[in-house]
Structure 1
Amino acid sequence: MSEWKAKRFWKMATVAERDGGFAVELDGRSVKTPAKQVLQVPTRAMAEAIALEWDAQEDAINPNTMPVTKTANAAIDKVTIQHEEVAEMLAAYGDSDLLCYRADSPEELIARQAEQWDPMLDWAAEHLDARLETRTGVVHAPQEKTAIEALRQRTHALDPFELAAFHDLVSLSGSLVLGFAAAMGARSAEELWGISRLDEIWQEEQWGEDDDATALAEIKREAFLHAKRMFDLAQRVS
């Protein structure tokens, strides 16, 4: 028995400004989230991106081709009501940030980590008021409380739509610092993604690529780039 799929029932998707935000409408009727909330977003740019996704649907609706819609739904249905928990979970990455845990050998890997990761820690010290210290090995060692609190406050200050995107920037890269660097445009998302995969790239150079691992990495890369796009779409123009 074939799986039932929702069919396209509308002629046009449009954007309507309302209550300080922007809703997406299908033939004048508001789109709803899976939790039956009105799909209302903070910026016209995000609403227009969502409307384009709905207009691009043909016969059957395919949610996999609607990433902006899916992330906006998550921001409304999940992050809005769990903001404190999500922000606290992401802020915790600062105390075990990927960039702080360094190899003890070989020298070439140690040098590469220093070359690519040290500048990002310097950037965090300057732009996030958080100086994180490096460790050798994988055993956890707490960071200074002042640095962690600075990162925590910045994370909690993000609105639900920013936080929904920021979640993927941090969780996919394994680094709160790289998440903020991507969000704030310190470097391109592509470059930051490569920095986050330094250890994996090193292993590939030594032992060759694994097809399954490469395919999974590409899926994660695309998700990281989408998260950066989503964060940018959430920015209100002053």
Structure 2
Amino acid sequence: MSDWKMKRFWQKATAVEAGNGFTVHLDARPIRTPGKAPLIVPTQAMAQAMALEWDAQEKEINPNTMPVTRSANSAVDKVTPQFGAVADMLAEYAGTDLLCYRADQPAELVARQAEAWDPLLKWCADEFQAPLEPVSGVMFAAQQESSLAKLRALLHTMSPFELTGMHDLITLPGSFVIGLAAIHNRADPYELWELSRLDERYQQEQWGRDDEAEEMAETKRNAFKHAFDFYNLSRI
């Protein structure tokens, strides 16, 4: 395996206008995606965030410290060429939404789920005329196709950059409704993330904390917040 790593070769990263959007110049050189496409983003704020990431690199480039740039690369190289397939894949989460699958016991957990999750389902039904019905247990229960079609249509109206942010807002919590609530600012993203962990928190109360699981959950929590920020950067 090669030990080659990309070295820093520029003095200054700058956000500049480019085509119908914005990009970053490393000195006078425009950046490109890993797929060699021009990395044109929709907003100046996103380009500025990427420029800060590039300027923060030291002798060697560490992509793990460049989340906005990585997400923008995904929007161009991965989401744009298969937009419809990505949107349809994410829409499927509405049919198996975490918030719809409830415990049938113990009574305390049943009550907690209803108190925490019912308001979001009601909001989804009222705001988008897309009711999703909760069920007890883990067996699959089909939702109304009219509701699923309306929620699917919301994704197809997004830009590739918005859909890139929406990807993790839906897949990380396993809930279309939580992702939708995040982009409509129904609650702080960290609060919404905690709603997705209600069952895990209950299990911790019964059996104690699993440090490894908590570390993994923290990584996902941070990724959820980044997706929220990236979605908003695509619209500023």
| Bin for the TM-score computed over the shorter chain | over 0.9
The yes-or-no answer on 1:147 pairing with 2:147 is yes
Where in structure 2 are the equivalents of 1:77-92 lying within 5 Å? Answer: 77-92=77-92
Partner AA of 1:156 in structure 2: H
**C-alpha separation between the residues in 1 aligned to 2:224 and 2:162?**
14
- CA deviation string 1:88-119 (max 9, x = no partner): 00000011100001000000000000000000
The sequence identity of aligned pairs, in percent, is: 55
CA shift at 1:129, angstroms? 2.1
Aligned partner of residue 228 in structure 1, secondary structure: helix
The yes-or-no answer on 1:97 pairing with 2:97 is yes
**C-alpha separation between the residues in 1 aligned to 2:121 and 2:113?**
11
Q: Which residue of 2 aligns with 1:222?
A: 222
Where in structure 2 are the equivalents of 1:1-238 lying within 5 Å? Answer: 3-236=3-236
Q: List gaps (5 residues or longer) in structure 1.
A: none
Q: Tell me: CA distance 1:11–1:82, structure 2 relative to 1, closer, same or farther (3 Å).
A: same
**C-alpha separation between the residues in 1 aligned to 2:198 and 2:134?**
16
- CA deviation string 1:147-189 (max 9, x = no partner): 1111010011111000011000000010000001111111110
Partner AA of 2:50 in structure 1: I
- CA deviation string 1:2-53 (max 9, x = no partner): 8321110000001111222001110011001000011110000000000000
How many residue pairs end up in the alignment?
A: 236
**C-alpha separation between the residues in 2 aligned to 1:162 and 1:70?**
14
Partner AA of 1:214 in structure 2: E
**C-alpha separation between the residues in 2 aligned to 1:213 and 1:147?**
34
Partner AA of 1:170 in structure 2: I
**C-alpha separation between the residues in 2 aligned to 1:123 and 1:22?**
36
**C-alpha separation between the residues in 1 aligned to 2:170 and 2:39?**
25
CA shift at 1:128, angstroms? 2.3
Aligned partner of residue 173 in structure 1, secondary structure: coil
- CA deviation string 1:43-81 (max 9, x = no partner): 000000000000000111000000000000000000000
**C-alpha separation between the residues in 1 aligned to 2:165 and 2:2?**
34
- Moved segments of 4+, more than 4 Å: none
TM-score by length of 1: 0.97
Alignment RMSD: 1.1
Partner AA of 1:211 in structure 2: D
**C-alpha separation between the residues in 2 aligned to 1:154 and 1:113?**
26
Q: List gaps (5 residues or longer) in structure 2.
A: none
**C-alpha separation between the residues in 1 aligned to 2:69 and 2:23?**
12
- CA deviation string 1:102-150 (max 9, x = no partner): 0000000000000000000011112222111010001011101111111
